[in-house]
Amino acid sequence: MVNFLPDMCYSLSMTEYGDQFAEAIAEELRAQKARMGKTNDDIAEEVGLSPVTVLRYLKGQRQIPIDVFGDLCKALGANAADMTRIAYEKAQTASRIAETKRLAHKSDVSLAAYGAEGKDYYMNHDGEASA
């Protein structure tokens, strides 16, 4: 069984992680659209949506309902499970990058405020400084 929550996604709010996942889904759909050489008009006609709605979904401007996601995948000749797996991996990577940046920033702040000794203390105490 695949764990769909990345090890480090705890550092992001559910909304942030969800936004990253949704953007990754849209990105994968755009890539598949390019591979298939289809236009938004082609996809819209197959799925029964307006071309503007398809554009908004593929640009990540609008969240894609799960049933529409399935229809978009079918119209693009894509496997929904594969698209979801790839998007999950991209969102997981983005989450890890965000966590690394967050920790680096905290470390830089500690170093600036307390010097090297403060950084060592901070890194050994999970960021909880004593008074």
The pTM is what?
A: 0.66
Indicate the angle between helix axes 80-124 and 66-75, nearest 10 degrees: 120
* Under 8 Å between Cβ of 29 and 58: yes
Q: Which of 2-6, 51-55, 67-71, 88-92 has the lowest mean pLDDT?
A: 2-6
Summarize pLDDT for 90-127 with one digit per residue, the tens: 888 877 777 787 777 666 666 666 666 665 666 676 55
Q: Which domains does the chain have, with CATH numbers?
A: 11-97 (1.10.260.40)
Summarize pLDDT for 7-42 with one digit per residue, the tens: 444 445 667 778 888 999 999 999 999 999 999 999
Question: How far does Cα 84 stand from its chain's mean position?
Answer: 11
Cα separations (Å) of 123 from 114, 119, 130? 12, 6, 13
